Each structure stands twice: as C-alpha cells, then as structure tokens.
Structure 1
C-alpha cells in the first residue's frame, strides 16, 4: 500500500502540469519563482557562516517559526485541498493507523516540502560551521520539516471537516495581506541589521521566547547544542512533544474523516458572491463588500490609486535634484502617501451615482454606510503603509525614527479618513459616471469640489501638527520625542476617525433627500 500511495503522489505532482498550455505556463512560472526564492534564501543562509552564533540562532529561529506558522495557517485561510484526502481511501477498507502513517509520509513529496527541505539542509550547513554536531543538525532538519508537514496535514483535515463552506479566493487575498503586514517589515528590519556586531537585546529576548515554543523549538535545537549541550534538552523535548502531539491529532483526524460524511461543497453556490461571501451578513458588511468590488474593478477608483505613486515622485525628484540628502528625502513620500490614501474616499458617495438609492430606500444606518465605505481603503492602506514605513526608515538609516514615522503616517491616514467620511456626504461634487472614462470629468459650475478636497488635506495636516512637530524634534536628535509622536499619532488619528464617522453618519441620515437629488442631477 505504501508503494502504491507514493506512486499516486508522484503521479499527482506530474499531473499538476496538465490542463492546457495556459495552466502549464502558470505552474512552470510559479515553480521558477519558488526556486528562485529558495535559492536566494539558501545563498543568504550560507553567507552567515562568518556571522556570530547568536545571529545564526536569531535568523533560523525567526525564519523557521514564520515558515511553521505559514504551513499551519495557509490551509486554514487559503482553503488548500489535500490531494490525498483520507476520505478518498475509505472504500478500500484499509487500517486507519496504517493509512494515517502512509499518508503522512507521502506528504513529504510536495513542492513546498521539498523546497523547505533544501533550505533546511543549507541551514544545517551553517549550524555545522558554528559547532553544531552533524547528528544535531540532521535531527533539527527532520524535526522542523516533519512539524511543518504534519501541521499542514492537520490544517487541511480541519478545513475539510469544519471550514469547507468558507473557502474563497478573497480569503486567500486577505491571507496575503496579513503576510505582507507581518513578514515584510520584519524581513526589512532583519536585512538591515549588521549581524557581525551582534543581535539587539530586544530581538535576542524574542528569539529566546520563540525557541521555547512549538514553532521555533526544532529550529533552535542544533545551535543550542553548539552553545550549551545541557540547555538543548528543553527545545528538543518541546520539538519532540510537538511532533507527537501533531501525530496524535492527525491520527484522530483520519479516523474522523473516515467515519463522517463529507460536507456538501458549496463553492458553486457561493462562487458568484465574491466578497459578499466573506463579509459579515450585516448592512455594513454588504456595503463593504460592494465597495471592495468597486475599488478592485472600477477604472475610476483604480485611477485614483495611481495618484499616490505619481504624487510621491513629483515630491521626491525635485528635492533630490535640489541637493537634499537621500536620508532626509526618504522620510517624505510615506507620510504624503498616507495623506493621499486617507483623502481618496473624500468623494466616494458621488461615485455611486444613482445606485445610492439602494442605501436610502433600504433604510441603511449612516454608521453602516460610512464605515463600510472605508473598508477598502483600510485593506489597501494598512498593508501598503506597513511595508513602506520600514523601507523608508531603512533608506533613512536610523531605526530610532521608526516610531515617529509610524505615528505621523497613522495620524495623517486616519485623520484624512475621518474627515473624508464627513466631506463625501456634506460636499459631494460631480464625477464621471459609471462606465465612462475616468479622465472625462464633468463641468462644474462652482468651486465646491476644490474646496472639499483642500479641506480634507489641510484639516488632516492641521490636526496632525503636534505629531509632525514632535517627529521633527526627533529628527533633530531629541529621539525621546519619537515615542511621543507614535502614541500621539495613534490617539489623534483614531479620535478624528471615530468623530468623523459619527458626524458623517448623522449627516447622511439627515440629508438623504439632498443626497438623492445630487445623484439624480449630476
């Protein structure tokens, strides 16, 4: 049976290239990108043979913990389907324990697992160069890879049992955003550190904590043997206990899958709902889903997003040509982009055109309308700023400015969102209708549109003035003001956002007839 399952697994891997030229091209391109990423990681690891042992421990534990967490969460959020689902072997009447063991071993024959194994072998070479015995490195690779494989198998089993009807590509997209928000800033920070000079104290404490958890114990064990053999017993025990626990859960999952009926798939029924299948079944959730569809497919919204990089270039290029140092110029585009991101929905209601009647006729509360329309901007803005802020600080060269940079960006972004929530319902102005060219703007008889745009931007800058001032002081060397700028930025931004949503909701409910009249006459 084991040989049959292994041959079946290999056939499934080869069969992934079938399905037409377009499908095969996508698969091949994906494999090439994955191989390139794995090669880059391996090269980066092998260059650490001259780094300190603490630095190697930090990189392997942090990276290994992130990979293990990814194997655990990706099937749950992304809706991955197990190609060797135990239910497919149910009619054969096989022993449950034997089937669970064979399927677990067959799972090692997968592209992600083989890629992880290659990276882990490179890590073992680095461990060996820092004094770890060969058996400790081999055991660390086996424990780490096996933990990832079993975590993925358990997650796919749980998904098949309980979460089948919540799978969608929209949830996969949200998972990608979470990865961007969490991993990219960490990767930028780690890449900027000078590992030859040691590991920062705060980072070393985080690594020590992760090394005592199921996520990082297996990856910490080899270096722990090199540093202090008696102290390596604890991470080894945790890693083995984790593997045993996952094995027991997997055995239980196989038994449950073989003794329960598969839940009917509802992909076809929910496939056309898109974001409506993901969003909560509330008025605010429905508005958020509809707004997300507009932002992702309406050319008028997409053109507005293009304003951000263009505006950043317009600001940066003249400053560089004027001779201002790159370290200072690097801090300017991100707050400016945060301001523009918060400014984008300042006329969001006008883009609905006559479709706004659905909100008014159904009696939607103003709070649901105002909050739902901000969801797309938040989903776009938060990952973008999470990536851009550490990159900007990296070019600046002083990580002490990170709190101040984050405070300014958060304050400008949230404040502009709050003011936009009021502006879009108090002073909407005519825009191109749905289906028209986004560059074809209608003639306007007054200056209301210009005033509304200016008030949102100027207002956000005014309420952010204290944060900007404290950030300037931090930039001048009084670095203690950086933390004050961070917390003040968060407090001011959240306050303005809440007040803006509340005021906008009140105005929306009281000006329903005026809003509908505007939609009919523009």
Structure 2
C-alpha cells in the first residue's frame, strides 16, 4: 500500500505539473534554485569545518534541523487547504482507515518539492560530522535520517488533517483562519532579508551554541541532538535524546492513526437543546420572535419589520445617503462586505501595511538608499488599486448576480470602486501618518504624500476596472488559500493583463506624478500637488468609469462565461 500511495501521489503531481508548460518550467526552476541554495549551504558547512569552525557550525546545524522539523509541524497546518492531493476523505468510498493506510499517507507526504528539499537538507548534519572526523556521529545522523523525515511527515499529516477537519465546520471559520495564517506567513517571510541582515550584523556564536543545546532536548530537535551527544562522548545523553525522538514519533503516529478515522468517517456534531425543541414543535426558526424584531429605518426614521425588509438593506441605504443611486449603492454595500469576509481580499488589505513597513525598514539597512524604500511605499496603493479592479474575478461565478439583474455597467463599476474605498483608503491614511511620523514630515508634506498615494490608488483601480470589463485573469476560487496556485492557470494571460494594468496605472497617474516630482525639486509649490491630485483624479475616475461601464455592458456575459471555465469556479 505504501508503494501504491507513493506512485499515486507522484502520478498526480506529474499530471498537474505537466498539464501547463509554465507550471513545469517554474517547478524546474524552483528545484534548481533549491539545489543551488543547498549546494551553497553544503559548501559553507564543509569549508567552515575545514577552517576550524566546527564548534560553531555543528550547533547551528542542530538548531536549524529542529527549526526545520518544527516548520513541518506548523506551516502545512496553517495552509491546510493548499495541498490536499491525498486527502483521506477522498479514499473513504474505497477503503477503511487503518494504521497501514496512515503510514502510507505519511510517507507519501514527502513526495514533492518540500519533501525532496527536506530530504537533501537532512543530509547536512551527516556530511558535517563526517568532514569533522566524527564518524560515529556521522553514521548515527545518517541512520536517524529516515526517523527524522517520518517524524516531520507524520506530525505534519496529523496536525494538518486535524485542523482541516475542524475548519470545514463553517466557511467563515475556514476563510478567517486562512487569512490569519497567510498574514502570519507574510509577516515572517516577506521581510526575510531584514531578519537575515540583523542576524548577520549581531551574530553571536554563543547564542547558537546554547540554543542548540536546548533544541537537542525538545521533541522536534532531540533527533539531531543524538549525534551531538555522541561527538561529546556522552552516551547517556545520546540514549535519552534518542528515547525522546522515538516517543515523539510514536505519539505522532498514534495521533495520526486516530485523526484519520475522524477524517474519513466524519465528526458527530450534536444538535443543541434549543434546536431539538424547535424540531419537536415543528418550527423552522429556533427563536420565532427574532424575525418580528423591529429596527429603526436609517432614512425615514420609522420602525420596519425585518420580515419585510432584509437585514442588508440598511447598509445599502447608508450608501444612498452619500448620494449614490440604488444600483450603485447595492453594489458598493456588497463590495465593502466582501473586503472583510473574503480571505483572498482581506490578505491584500493586510499586505499594504507590510509594504510600508518594508519601505521604512529598507532605508535603515546599511548600503540601501531611500529609493529602495520609496519603491515599496509607491507600490502599495498600486497593488490595492489593481486588486479593486480585479474584484470581478474574486466574485467567481457569483458574478452572475449583477449580470442577471441587468444593472448598468456604470453603476456596477462605480459600486466596486466606492465600496472598496472606505477600508482601503482608511488603511492608506494610517500608513501615510506612520510614514510621516518616522520621517518627521510636516503637515503640508504629509498632505501632499497622502494626496499622491490616493491618486495612485484610484487611478490604478479605474485602469484595472476598464481592463477588467473586457479581460480577466484566473485567481484562486473561493474557499482556497490565498497562497494556493489552485485555479490560477493561463499564466501568459495573467502576466499580460497585470503588465497592462501596471503600465496603464503609471500613464494615468502621469499628471499627478509630474507635479509631485516638480514639487519635491522646488519648481512648483506643494499646494499644486493637492489641487492637481484632486481635480485630475476626480476627472479621470468619472470618465474612466463611464468608459468601463460601456465596455461592461457589452462584455459582461462573455466575462462570466470565461470565469465559469476556470477550474474550481
């Protein structure tokens, strides 16, 4: 069974990779990049030990090995929806859960780029001990390598499946957990260059030596502490650490064997007492008085029954108070809601402050000019605007709602823009104030920067709305991780559309950009940027949305058919 599952996983992965040329090319490039990184690390380990730095390098390898296994426990669980190739639920109609089946699935987890990279990386301690002349430790590290891989894969399977089963209870819980996991991932790995720079600058060998000693007694690092204890001649400590490693794997396999039963047979969710009473009484609602509750009408100021007026109507009427027509207000209310509810859009919102953080920190790194940080700051509003214009794709097949309701294009396009502005512009204002605080900008300088960034955001959004009225590119289907590549085929179409959006955004912002540059050089006064930004942005948004609406009226049905053809939508 183990061999069959490995062959099945390899076959599925190969079919997925070879189906599109660009995916195959990117996978090969990713493997080559990973091999080059491992080769450089291996060369650094060998030459470092030969240069007499064994007392530093080997503890660093022990510490890194423990972090690697811990990463296998945490990262797959955070993105449980990214790789479900051998989801146990898919096998439920064909066989029952068993320990043999659980073992086979855990071994098959290593089939793929992460598994290959981990296997090669786990050879590093054995190579290091061999170069250092510690042959007993090198043989021990080599013999314990399968146990290290099984520990990583088994715990990854158990935790990922356990989390995944419970996240399927409600779509809201699943989407929010995915958004939080993606945000944590971005916060940790996006500024990786900053973290590495800080480690290199403040490198302390004693810290890694002490950390490796502690790591050697943890469940995810004990297996790497065995060769270290043998190198020190401490047989008792080596045996104790080996016992910890064996118990860790045994607990992981025991947990995985029990989790797989729940994953394949489902979890019992008892009916609440109130629901049972409602069923016995033949009621459709648990609380029959809830539908009769009154609420104040936001415009007329009178009480209205929620049975006659939907709960979503007050949000629409709030937009109508701002002067929007009913169709535009309904689209704006719907768009504003999904910027919070959709994990894929929410991650983009949270990514924006990260760009500003990178802009601030990048200028503080040695050898980096302010231009590096400015690039991140100016790219943030363009990214938001491009996502606003691409919200049609994120609607997926729910795009049929505005199409079938015969809403005019100008109302649909305006609703998407206006509904996206409160949240995104609010975040942009907060980030701009943070930039002003760290750079010590005055009130006028802060206002000029804010107007310029808002102009970039709105111009990029309008350009993307124009392009998105006729051409769309595939995105992740609803319910998937924002980090997943599922459903995102047609790489060439995506690249061309995004390139056209970026170039169009720059061209559309040229009047404001030119005045902003001349203002920074002292040729024009600062108030010219404010005046030009407001007038040009309002004029371009009005004319651009009218144009986008006309295109939408002609092409909306074709766009809907295109979205329906995407996998998973």
TM-score bracket for the superposition, by shorter chain length? 0.5 to 0.7
Tell me, yes or no, if the aligned pair for 2:66 and 2:221 is still in contact at 8 Å.
Answer: yes
Give the match's secondary structure for 1:438.
Answer: helix
- Which residue in the other structure is 1:12 paired with? 12
Give, in whole Å, the separation in 2 of the partners of 1:80 and 1:363. 27
Tell me, yes or no, if the aligned pair for 1:357 and 1:516 is still in contact at 8 Å.
Answer: no
Aligned residue among 238, 257, 272 for 1:251: 257
Aligned residue among 189, 194, 214 for 1:209: 214
Give the match's secondary structure for 2:19.
Answer: coil
Give, in whole Å, the separation in 1 of the partners of 2:71 and 2:380. 34
Tell me, yes or no, if the aligned pair for 1:218 and 1:235 is still in contact at 8 Å.
Answer: yes
Q: Classify 1:116/1:291 alpha carbon distance in 2 versus 1 (closer, same or farther; 3 Å).
A: closer
Give 1:247-396 correspondences, 5 Å limit: 247-260=253-266, 280-281=340-341, 331=366, 333=368, 337-338=372-373, 371-373=426-428
Give the match's secondary structure for 1:331.
Answer: coil
Tell me, yes or no, if the aligned pair for 1:18 and 1:24 is still in contact at 8 Å.
Answer: yes
Give, in whole Å, the separation in 1 of the partners of 2:452 and 2:113. 54
Give, in whole Å, the separation in 1 of the partners of 2:384 and 2:17. 46
- Which residue in the other structure is 1:142 paired with? 146
Which structure's CA Rg is the greater one? 2
Which of the pair is proportionally richer in helix? 1
- Which residue in the other structure is 1:394 paired with? none
Q: Classify 1:137/1:182 alpha carbon distance in 2 versus 1 (closer, same or farther; 3 Å).
A: farther
Q: Classify 1:179/1:250 alpha carbon distance in 2 versus 1 (closer, same or farther; 3 Å).
A: same
Give the match's secondary structure for 1:91.
Answer: coil
Give, in whole Å, the separation in 2 of the partners of 1:180 and 1:54. 29
Tell me, yes or no, if the aligned pair for 1:345 and 1:417 is still in contact at 8 Å.
Answer: no
- Which residue in the other structure is 1:96 paired with? 98
Give, in whole Å, the separation in 1 of the partners of 2:268 and 2:521. 54
Give, in whole Å, the separation in 1 of the partners of 2:5 and 2:420. 58
Tell me how far 1:153 sits from its aligned partner. Answer: 1.3
Give 1:16-95 correspondences, 5 Å limit: 16-50=16-50, 51-78=52-79, 79-94=81-96
Q: Classify 1:516/1:331 alpha carbon distance in 2 versus 1 (closer, same or farther; 3 Å).
A: closer
Give, in whole Å, the separation in 2 of the partners of 1:419 and 1:161. 53
Q: Do residues 412 (structure 1) and 480 (structure 2) align? A: no
Q: Classify 1:420/1:215 alpha carbon distance in 2 versus 1 (closer, same or farther; 3 Å).
A: farther
TM-score (normalised: structure 1): 0.56
Q: Do residues 120 (structure 1) and 175 (structure 2) align? A: no
Give, in whole Å, the separation in 1 of the partners of 2:453 and 2:114. 50
Give the match's secondary structure for 2:123.
Answer: helix
Tell me how far 1:260 sits from its aligned partner. Answer: 0.6
Tell me how far 1:81 sits from its aligned partner. Answer: 2.1
Give 1:121-200 correspondences, 5 Å limit: 121-130=123-132, 131=134, 132-163=136-167, 165=171, 166=174, 174=183, 177-181=186-190, 183-185=192-194, 187-188=196-197, 200=205
Q: CA RMSD in A?
A: 5.7
Number of residues paired by the alignment?
387
Q: Classify 1:150/1:376 alpha carbon distance in 2 versus 1 (closer, same or farther; 3 Å).
A: farther
Give, in whole Å, the separation in 1 of the partners of 2:445 and 2:213. 45
Q: Classify 1:58/1:278 alpha carbon distance in 2 versus 1 (closer, same or farther; 3 Å).
A: farther
Give 1:340-489 correspondences, 5 Å limit: 371-373=426-428, 412=438, 433=459, 434-435=462-463, 438-439=506-507
Tell me how far 1:255 sits from its aligned partner. Answer: 1.0
Task: Report Cα offsets for 1:21-43 as digits up to 9, x if no partner.
Answer: 33333333333333333333333
Instruction: Specify every segment of 5 or more residues in structure 1 that has no aligned partner in the other structure, as ranges.
Output: 264-274, 297-301, 313-328, 382-408, 459-514
Instruction: Specify every segment of 5 or more residues in structure 2 that has no aligned partner in the other structure, as ranges.
Output: 270-334, 390-409, 464-503, 527-532, 541-569
Tell me, yes or no, if the aligned pair for 2:339 and 2:420 is still in contact at 8 Å.
Answer: no
Q: Classify 1:239/1:334 alpha carbon distance in 2 versus 1 (closer, same or farther; 3 Å).
A: farther
Tell me, yes or no, if the aligned pair for 1:45 and 1:123 is still in contact at 8 Å.
Answer: no
Task: Report Cα offsets for 1:318-353 as digits up to 9, x if no partner.
Answer: xxxxxxxxxxx9736356644775688899999999
Give the match's secondary structure for 2:18.
Answer: coil
